[in-house]
Amino acid sequence: MNNINPIYYGVEGLKELNTFIQNNKPSKIVLLVDENTHELCYPKLITEIQADTEIEILEIESGENNKNLYICINLWEALTELKIDRKALLINVGGGVLTDMGGFIASCYKRGINFINVPTTLLAMVDASIGGKTGVDLGSHKNQIGNFVLPKMVLVDVGFLNTLPYEQLLSGFAEILKHGLIADKKYWQKIIELDKIETEHLEELIKISIEIKKNVVSNDFTETGLRKILNFGHTIGHAVESFFLEKNAPILHGEGVAMGIIVESYISMKKSLLSYCEYEEIKSYISLLFPKLNLKKEYFNDIFIFMQNDKKNINNEIKFVLLEKIGKAVYDISVDKELIEEAIYLYIDNE
């Protein structure tokens, strides 16, 4: 069992952050923000940080199309110009793009400096900032370059969610649904009873989702087996996301994952794993909540090419995470191209 980084909530998090700063005395603190978190989250955070040392701010542009090595190089150059040394602390304040890239930058700069994640989107709170995956995209290939490295801590403040547009909340909600589907049927049922996605309900869901993710990651930090289940909905979801990114029409991560969950649940049923009844339950709930993606059948081959590059593949075979039932996932399952095509076509044809 690996002990993954501590996760603190609300005011306790700010206290722990200040204790960390007092104990470790970083030579400098660098806050990495994007234009949204600079405006909406930085003012709150900066009044809470108690440090004798200098605090620098680095801002990047938000959006998946900025999660690449070129931006990393700019940031490494900026850190060098600021004379940031190995004893500095990087605090990543933002959504999944920023925490993934910030962790990667910190892990390589001068062979590694300490970093802390302050996720400000639902997606980053329940998934991206937890568990030590860092990275950037290579062209349109999502998270192709990266490593496993843990932040010193993750600070979750649900207050930041009030700054988020609804589509961003929905995007993170896809990961919450995934957690119920792969690990806990009662949790899934609790989630689907909600009639609205509101911050007051989310606080409890975030904690449950983080516990589920922590349990999985502690058992398989570098994803040699069990951790793969966290990729349910992502083999197809990531490929579709990459496809739209390449077309210069990016979709939100959760939109791709929601579509991927529907399609991969269908494949699970066709493989005689998931029951028809549970497939219908998943499909109808997710179809009601998420907008349908504007996919065309002629896109299939391009999407399939992205799937051939999925990180879970073994010996050029596309390996899926599928559902045996709601609350139980299985991994490393081979699926024929014909069945993948059938499942995606069905998604496209469904009203």
Q: Which residues bind ligand GLY (CB under 6 A)?
A: 127, 131, 133, 227, 230-231
Pick between residue 127 and residue 255 the one whose CB is nearest to ligand GLY. 127
We find the least distance from the C-beta atom of residue 239 to ligand GLY, in angstroms, to be 15
CB of 93 to ligand GLY, least distance (A): 20
Cα(301)–Cα(220) distance, rounded to whole angstroms? 33
How many CB atoms are located within 10 Å of the residue 244 CB?
21
Q: Which two tokens stand for residue 288?
A: 């009601």
| Cα–Cα distance measured from residue 238 to residue 174, given in angstroms and rounded to the nearest whole number | 13
CB atoms within 10 A of CB 114: 18
* Identity of the residue, 42 or 188, whose beta carbon is nearer to ligand GLY in the bound complex: 188
For ligand GLY, the closer of residues 131 and 260 by Cβ is: 131
Q: Give the type of residue at 179.
A: H
Cβ of residue 14: shortest distance to ligand GLY, in angstroms?
25
- List alpha helices for 82-198, DSSP H: 96-108, 122-123, 166-183, 185-192
Smallest distance from ligand GLY to CB 73, Å: 25
State which residue, 26 or 260, has the beta carbon closest to ligand GLY.
260
> How far from 151 is each of 85, 118, 278, CA to CA, in Å?
17, 10, 37
Comparing CB distances to ligand GLY, the nearer of 13 and 172 is 172
Give me the amino acid identity at 270: K
* CB 196, min distance to ligand GLY, A: 25
List, in order, residues 6 or more apart from 160 with CB less than 8 Å away: 40, 41, 119, 120, 121
Nearest to 141 by CA among 251, 74, 71, 64: 64
Give the residue at shortest CB distance from ligand GLY: 230
CB of 284 to ligand GLY, least distance (A): 25
First CA to last CA distance, the chain:
45
Nearer to ligand GLY, 30 or 106 (CB): 106
- Residue 13 or 131 with smaller CB distance to ligand GLY: 131
Min dist CB 171 to ligand GLY, Å, is 13
Residue 186, phi-psi category: left (phi > 0), alpha (psi -120 to 50), beta (remainder): alpha
